[in-house]
Structure 1
Amino acid sequence: MDQRRGSLRPGPGQRRPHLGDLPPLPARGRPRLTPPRTPDVDGTSHTPRSSGRQPPTLPRPAHRHTNQTSAALSHQAVAEAGPPARHPTRSIRSTPSGAPSARTACREREPPSQARRGSNTFTTRETYVTNNHTQQNIGWIGLGDQGAPMARAIADSGYPFQVWARRSSSLDALDGLPYTVHNTVAELGAASDIVGLCLREDSDIRQVLTEGGLLASMKPGSVIVNHGTGLPQFANEMTDLAAAKGIHVLDAPVSGGNAGAVARQLTTMVGGDTQIFERCRPVFETFSKKVTHMGPGGAGQLGKLMNNTLLMMNQRNVQEILGLAHDLGLDIAALVDLLRSGTGSSFALQALGGAVTTDNAEHLTTLQLIDMDIFDDAVRALGHSVPDITARAVEGARGLLGAARMVADSSTPAPAA
């Protein structure tokens, strides 16, 4: 028996462990459904393992005051609204050698109306002020498939936006928007009131927090938000690490994939202190259609894992129905069209032939199997074993390509005789 898991199961007279009192999990000893991913702190948030009442909802800025200082489920193109009109900015031009002025170590690109892409013109970072309230500076790490459109939504909503990226090419995702790029994680942390992380693995998060210097550089009272999908237990570990520095933590994974992020229609599930959640809610609403506070630290991650698992179980339901219909000789295209409009419809069905295609199904399967590894770890750590649920969800993930092919083949016109 896995001794780690055994120790988490309650004995006679003992209560089940609660989400808030679990220790961090050591590395698993059993084989995983998928091989480990290569850590990459510029990765997407969908892929694991990443992790006061303050003033009411923050007002949007009316004017600016210059303060000089340094997954996955989409193949569809979603049109973005053009950037709103920008307020005038003061710029600092590069020196003749091409290096930026010594007055700014961190540079913010100007909107298209003031500087073309490739221009050597940069602006100072600006603090937005309205009604005697200063807008919070938002920091961001992770400009992957999920993180980039979320970052664009925040920057486009008027928040002073700080960013660090391992690769300068990642900053292309923010073209046309005002932001300040920082040379180090610690530099970004010192300049930010709230830092959002959209990274691939929990191990990447831990590296940024510790070795990267994020925790050491952030001011007491500031907030770190983990938008990646990961273990609830790691969310609690993050909270403990940050609390020692007087920093707050929220776990806020998202659902909706790249298409939802681009359309600013994500569902955001948040775990952590209620007052800190209300403080950050306006930021989440820039890229979300629904923001829900699920409970204490780790509850956001559990909500996301439940959502993912149900999706994969529904995928299996769809696969079995389509397989039966094929054996019975039914027209699959007609049946899918019918079911999409009927009471038996689901997102798993709606996505086939749309967000899920034969081109991306294998990639999505890999991501889903990783999510099921996390789900299995999280549930077992809380003293539960749900092998039937896990097995059915895994089947749904592995059958995704076959279902995508069946729908694609049914919608392809037969060749002329």
Structure 2
Amino acid sequence: MSGTTERPVGLIGLGIMGSAMSANLIAAGFTVVGHDIAAPAMEAFARAGGRPARSAAEVAAQAEIVLTSLPSTAALHAVVEEIARAPGACRILPETSTFPLEDKERARQALEAAGVVMLDCPLSGSGSQARVRDVLVYASGPREAYDRCLPVFRGFSRAPHFLGAFGNGMKMKFVANLLVAVHTAAAGEAFALARKAGLDPAQMFEVVSDGAGGSRALQVRGRMLIEDRYLPVETMPLELWRKDMRAIADFASALACPTPMFSATVPLFNAAVASGLGDQDTAAVCAVIETMAGVRRPGAG
């Protein structure tokens, strides 16, 4: 599939993840028609070779497959309502955001009534990983629709995984994000301990990453932790991450499943936001732990 032989691919939501997805699809030879309510995002999309659309409905009018990458459930339902009123050429809508299952199911039903198949397809990976096609697609829903979207998924991801019934994608994402929360907090804790012990953080990162203590979270966030620099955001802003954490907690609570390790990280991320770091990368949780430990960065006043 490419823009030269078939309809363009649609993409609604051109933020950190959506812009990376669109750039990779364009690089893979797809024509991408996209929309975002933010003018700067649309301008960047056009500069990258995308075809801007004035609305979600205008995207649906041109694309059989319309991906969504949205910041909130309110945005999801607004987009779905608009497309359900005028589906146009849209037949399949892979939804890649991290939202509660109930909201995705409500959206699925609204689209089904309009003749559009929705796939639950959250992504595993950060914004920096998405830029280099190092994300996974946790796809769930009708297999025929998944197979139709497979070339598109391969255009922006390292590997798509089909997980069966609609909703299994989000369930898998909740499990994965639980580990991300624990590993991110653990990485920050390790850096705080290393600094408190007088170790060189760059050397600690190099040595630990190469051994049994290494993790993907440490690899992705290591440079930020070494430099004490959490802007620009490489993974996700802390304020947005707290939304994902609430969804994990609700999911586990509904299953009466204890999550002691995950639960222990919640106050740390909350404290980071309360400290004014909500717009910074999730790795900024390290700054909170360092403050608790009395660690003073070189050059700090």
Q: Same fold (TM over 0.5)?
A: yes
1:311 aligns with 2:194: no
- From 347, 354, 367, the equivalent of 2:223 is 354
Q: Distance in 2 between matches of 1:239 and 1:171?
A: 27
- The C-alpha deviation readout for 1:140-171, integer Å capped at 9, x for no partner, is 21111221121122233333322223244322
CA 1:155–1:325 in structure 2 vs 1: closer, same or farther (change >3 Å)?
closer
TM-score by length of 2: 0.79
Q: Which residue of 2 aligns with 1:234?
A: 103
| 2:245 is the counterpart of 1:368 | no
**Residue number in structure 2 paired with 1:180:** 51
Q: Alignment partner of 1:218: what SS?
A: coil
Q: What residue is the counterpart of 2:23 in the other structure? A: 152
Of 298-307 and 152-161, more deviation after overlay is shown by 152-161
Cα distance, 1:282–1:318 mapped onto 2, change above 3 Å? same
Distance 1:182 1:326 in 2: 49
Give the Å deviation of 1:178. Answer: 4.6
Counterpart position of 1:141:
12
Is the CA contact 1:322–1:332 (under 8 Å) kept in the aligned structure 2? no
**Contact 1:235 1:297 (8 Å CA) reproduced:** no
- Identify which range, 344-353 or 239-248, moves more after superposition: 344-353
Q: Name the amino acid aligned to 2:199.
A: D
Give the TM-score normalised by the residue count of structure 1: 0.59
Hey, what does 2:258 align to over in structure 1?
Answer: 386
Distance 1:320 1:372 in 2: 19
Give 1:244's aligned residue.
Answer: 113
Higher relative helix content: 2
1:391-412 deviation line (CA, Å, top 9, x unaligned): 1232564575363586xx8996
- Helix, strand or coil: the match of 2:4? strand
Q: In the superposition, relative to structure 1, how do residues 287 and 404 fare at CA in structure 2: closer, same or farther (>3 Å)?
A: farther
Equivalence for 1:87: none
Matched, 1:201 2:69: no
Q: 1:215 to 1:372 in 2, by over 3 A?
A: same
Which residue, out of 403, 408, 413, partners 2:286? 403
Distance in 1, matches of 2:221 and 2:238, equals: 13
- Whether the aligned pair in 2 keeps the contact of 1:315 and 1:396 (CA below 8 Å) is no
Contact residue 152 and residue 173 of structure 1 kept, 8 A: no
CA offsets, 1:237-259, max 9 Å, x none?
22211111221001212232221
1:342 aligns with 2:211: yes
**What does residue range 203-352 of structure 1 map to in structure 2 within 5 Å?**
203-210=74-81, 213-219=82-88, 222-322=91-191, 329=197, 331-333=199-201, 334-352=203-221
SS at match of 1:250: strand
Structure of greater relative contact order (alpha carbons < 8 Å, 6+ residues apart): 1
**CA spacing shift, 1:218–1:274, aligned 2, 3 Å:** same
8 A Cα contact 1:195 1:224, kept in partner: yes
Which deviations, in whole Å up to 9, do the C-alpha atoms of 1:371-401 show, x marking residues without a partner? Answer: 11011122333x3242414312325645753
User: Which of the numbers 109, 121, 128 marks the counterpart of 2:4?
Assistant: 128
Q: Which residue of the partner structure matches residue 18 of structure 1?
A: none
Across the two proteins, how many residue pairs are aligned to each other? 279
Pair 1:204–1:311, CA change in 2 (3 A)? same
**Deviation by residue 1:253-308 (Cα, 9 ceiling, x = unmatched):** 22322211221222221121122111111111111112112222121122222212
Q: What secondary structure is seen at the aligned counterpart in 1 of 2:60?
A: helix
**Larger Cα-atom Rg:** 1
Kindly provide the amino acid, as one letter, of the partner of residue 230 in structure 2.
N
Q: Distance in 2 between matches of 1:219 and 1:324?
A: 56
- Deviation digits for residues 57-86 of structure 1 (CA, Å, limit 9, x no counterpart): x4x5xxxxxxxxxxxxxxxxxxxxxxxxxx
Q: 1:313 to 1:395 in 2, by over 3 A?
A: farther
**Does the aligned pair in 1 maintain the 2:8–2:63 contact within 8 Å?**
yes
Instruction: Note if contact 1:310-1:393 (Cα within 8 Å) is conserved in structure 2.
Output: no
Q: Aligned pair in 2 of structure 1 residues 394, 367: CA closer, same or farther (>3 Å)?
A: same
Gaps of 5+ in 1: 1-57, 61-126, 130-134
Q: How far, CA to CA, are the matches of 2:145 and 2:132 in structure 1?
A: 26
CA separation of 1:339/1:181 partners in 2, compared to 1, >3 Å: closer, same or farther? closer
For 2:189 and 2:141, locate their aligned partners in 1 and report how far apart those are by CA, in whole Å: 39
